[in-house]
Amino acid sequence: MSLKCHDESRGLVARMRLGSASLWMLCCLSTAALAAAPAKPGAEVGPALSDRIVAVVNDAPITWFELLQRTAAVARENRVAESPALRKQVLEQLIDQRAQVQAARQEGIVVSEEEIDNAERVVAGNNKMSVASLRAAVAKDGLSVLSFRQQLSDQLAVQRMRERFVSADSRSSQADIDAFLEAQAAPDGAAPPPQLQLAQIFFPIREDATAAEKDAVMASVDRVREALNKGESFAALAVTFSKAPEGVNGGDMGVRNVADYPALFADATAALAVGAVSAPVTSGAGVHLLKVLGRPLAKAQMTASQTRARHILLQTGPQLSEQQAVQTLRDVRAELLAGKRDFAALAKAYSQDGSAAGGGDLGWVDAGAFVPEFEGPMNRLAVSEVSEPVVSRFGVHLIEVLDRRRVPLSEEAQNEAVSNLLRQKAADEAFAKWTAEARARAYVDIREWRE
């Protein structure tokens, strides 16, 4: 779905967009795995054991060291203890990944050195280090740079394969979108409220009308009914004869919950099929001819989360190091928490971006509007909470969340969001099928080992 756009005075928001979310996530996973190397690989696992092969997928081996390394990463990320059972699960995951990579290569997926270089730079940048520092960290974790780059290449190959199943040109039909929304309308199993779309031709009768005036109105009703019986358009007759405001629109009163229509109208049309016209319905205001235009099912209303935050940004460089900026903002935060300073006033005085003039206010923004190193800490804040100094690619920030809300999506945005969900669901199902087939085709030799 589309994200909210901001004017140039809020340049931070406009510049803090993600360029390639999928690649960023992919590469961060690589780093997470590397950062969580086995607790003491050198002390507990000697060279002979670390190189021991625990499984072979076609002609690609999986070593004991690799299994320990990945298990440690999974344990850390999920906050669980390492165990033989977990290692077996991780081994199955590694086998699946080997089979996927091999199948992707067979499908003609080629990852260039340039793409690997770019992925390596992204991993380094998202971990706030240079490529050289990243390679040093990789080596410290016991993995060669060549092996690390091969991991990146393998992940990119599988990612390219997954992308093949996502058709950017395919769009869901409106019927598919409506069916999805209707299915979401009552997730708790409760029946959605019935809806009704009626059109009317209204003939008013004054309370003090004479018998002759009432007879004249009924004569008009009869003429209109006769015209309807001859096949004339209800909408055209409504434009000509109806005295209700919606007459100019063919009498269409719109889609409403049945309970929102007058009970007289709901009762008179309850047994009518779509397209049928009621007998004359008399109310205190006059006579109504009602046509049932539709009985649509209630749709779910999708909403989007929005956050309103403000910040103070100090840009780092030759005049101000990152360490100095962090310490400065720590001091500022302490004064803010003590109630000695005003956030907006400090932002106007010191913040180094276009939001300064507005007291650092970034306005209401949708999820995903900021780069992750800013948005992640922001999302963890409670309303009115001030963050610790946050380092991003733009400098160092203090962030305060002013409010949060959920807003309904426009029909266009909702349709686009649902279409994307359905397209991704179809792609996930196709990729899962491909993955299962890749595993089924692979020759897998799992070798026994002792813990």
CATH code, domain carrying 258:
3.10.50.40
| pLDDT at site 441 | 93
Residue with the bigger pLDDT between 52 and 168: it is: 52
Residue with the bigger pLDDT between 342 and 43: it is: 342
Of 7-11, 17-21, 195-199, which one has max mean pLDDT?
Answer: 195-199
Tell me what the mean pLDDT of segment 287-294 comes to: 95
Is there a single domain that holds both residue 30 and residue 87? yes
pLDDT of residue 117 exceeding 60, the answer is: yes
pLDDT-based confidence at 440, cuts 50/70/90? Answer: very high
- Residue 14 makes CB contacts below 8 A (sequence gap 6+) with 5, 6, 8
| pLDDT at site 169 | 55
Is there a single domain that holds both residue 37 and residue 147? yes
**pTM above threshold 0.75:** no
pLDDT-based confidence at 8, cuts 50/70/90? Answer: very low
Q: What's the mean pLDDT when you consider all of the chain?
A: 82
Indicate the number of domains in the chain. Answer: 3
CA distance 55 to 442: 12
Is there a single domain that holds both residue 251 and residue 125? no
CA distance 151 to 126: 17
pLDDT-based confidence at 409, cuts 50/70/90? Answer: confident
Is there a single domain that holds both residue 218 and residue 357? no
pLDDT-based confidence at 38, cuts 50/70/90? Answer: very low
Is there a single domain that holds both residue 40 and residue 140? yes
What is the SS3 assignment for 156?
helix
Tell me what the mean pLDDT of segment 214-230 comes to: 94
| pLDDT at site 301 | 67
Residue 354 covered by a domain: yes
Question: Which pair of structure tokens corresponds to residue 105?
Answer: 């290569």
Tell me what the mean pLDDT of segment 148-177 comes to: 82
| pLDDT at site 6 | 30
Angle between the 84-106 and 145-164 helix axes, to the nearest 10 degrees?
70
Domain C-terminal end among 271, 294, 317: 294
| pLDDT at site 184 | 66
CA distance 299 to 302: 9
Is there a single domain that holds both residue 30 and residue 151? yes
Domain C-terminal end among 232, 265, 294: 294
Is there a single domain that holds both residue 20 and residue 157? yes
Residue 170 covered by a domain: no
Is there a single domain that holds both residue 20 and residue 99? yes
> 45-54, 87-96, 216-225, 302-311: which has the minimum mean pLDDT?
45-54
Closest CA to 391 of 295, 313, 335: 313
Q: How many CB atoms lie within 10 A of CB 442?
A: 18
pLDDT-based confidence at 79, cuts 50/70/90? Answer: confident
Percent of the chain exceeding pLDDT 70 equals 83
Is there a single domain that holds both residue 325 and residue 288? no
Closest CA to 195 of 209, 185, 187: 185
Domain C-terminal end among 294, 323, 358: 294
User: What residue type is assigned to position 440 of the chain?
Assistant: A
pLDDT-based confidence at 346, cuts 50/70/90? Answer: very high
pLDDT of residue 7 exceeding 50, the answer is: no
Percent of the chain exceeding pLDDT 90 equals 44
Is there a single domain that holds both residue 234 and residue 159? no
> 41-45, 209-213, 230-234, 415-419: which has the minimum mean pLDDT?
41-45
Is there a single domain that holds both residue 279 and residue 323? no
| pLDDT at site 264 | 92
Spatial strand order of the sheet with 444-446 comes to: 60-63, 53-57, 444-446
Is there a single domain that holds both residue 321 and residue 274? no
Domain enclosing residue 65, as ranges: 15-163
Of 51-55, 266-270, 299-303, which one has max mean pLDDT?
Answer: 266-270
Residue 7 covered by a domain: no
Residue 433 covered by a domain: no
Residue 427 covered by a domain: no
pLDDT-based confidence at 170, cuts 50/70/90? Answer: low
